[in-house]
Amino acid sequence: MTHDWHIVLAEVLAKGKTDTARCWIDVRDDRPFGGAGPPAAMFY
């Protein structure tokens, strides 16, 4: 099973100024290993 974590940094507008936000992304893909489940991504 392929299972990866990614952290994405993004500039967001916060009360008249910009700030850096972080989004954690969990990605799963079992297809290369014969898994029956579909690929999935979860955002935090």
Give, for all 44 residues of the chain, the pLDDT tens digit: 566 777 888 888 878 899 888 888 888 888 777 888 888 888 77
CA-closest candidate to residue 29, choices 5, 9, 2: 2
Q: Under 8 Å CB-to-CB from 6, ≥6 apart: which residues?
A: 24, 25, 27
Give the number of domains in the chain. 1
User: Is pTM beyond 0.95 here?
Assistant: no
Q: Which residues of 9-38 are buried (b: 16+ CB within 10 A; e: fewer)?
A: eeeeeeeeeeeeeeeeeeeebeeeeeeeee
Q: Please tell me the predicted confidence (pLDDT) of residue 28.
A: 84
For 8, the domain range is 2-43
